[in-house]
């Protein structure tokens, strides 16, 4: 057992969120394409969603007082960690199918790993969350793996 991670914390590995279902609209695709300065006509016309479109699609809409100090909503999937300063550790996105207007997509997030490493300034906790996005036929559309570092 590491200095910071205990059995209770490690027992949360494998925990999954409730499925989150969202409708993809042409208007939302167009707004995202314009906001991200995308120049491809299929995105600007809303015929197909550009890469990264899914990221804000599944964000919770919350009141300002429900945001953490760094401006993100508090993630109920995660346990209470002994370290709290979060940093990006990596993002890997696999696209399996295109996303079109009218698609209903369902995202499920799973806490897949928690581990500790020693850094120059002390102990670090890493955690990984995998989000699978499926269409109404149950087909995998997107798989996203996020790694965060706590110090």
The 10s digit of each residue's pLDDT in 47-106 is: 999 999 999 999 888 888 888 777 778 788 999 999 988 899 999 999 999 999 999 999
In a domain, 25, yes or no: yes
Range of the domain at 74: 7-150
In this predicted structure, what is the pLDDT of residue 2? 66
Q: How many domains does the chain have?
A: 1
pTM exceeding the 0.75 threshold for the entire prediction: yes
20 vs 105: CA distance, rounded Å: 8
Domain CATH for 63: 3.10.129.10
In a domain, 70, yes or no: yes
In a domain, 1, yes or no: no
In a domain, 52, yes or no: yes
Buried b (16+ CB within 10 A) or exposed e, 131-147: bbbbbeeeeebbebebb
DSSP 8-state assignment for residue 65: G
In a domain, 96, yes or no: yes
Find tokens 């696999």 and name the residue.
94
In this predicted structure, what is the pLDDT of residue 1? 53
In a domain, 2, yes or no: no
């Amino acid at each position: 057992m590491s200095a910071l991670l205990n059995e209770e914390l490690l027992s949360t590995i494998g925990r999954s969120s409730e499925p989150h279902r969202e409708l993809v609209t042409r208007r939302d695709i167009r707004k995202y394409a314009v906001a991200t300065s995308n120049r491809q006509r299929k995105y600007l016309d809303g015929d197909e969603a550009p890469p990264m479109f899914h990221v804000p699609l599944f964000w919770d809409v919350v009141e300002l007082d429900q945001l953490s100090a760094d401006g993100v909503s508090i993630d109920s999937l995660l346990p209470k960690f002994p370290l709290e300063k979060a940093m990006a550790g990596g993002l890997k996105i696999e696209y399996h199918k295109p996303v079109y207007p009218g698609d209903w997509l369902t995202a499920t997030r799973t806490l897949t790993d928690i581990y500790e490493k020693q850094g120059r300034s002390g102990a670090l906790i890493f955690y990984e969350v995998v989000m699978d996005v499926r269409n109404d036929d149950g087909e995998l559309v997107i798989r996203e793996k996020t790694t965060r570092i706590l110090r």
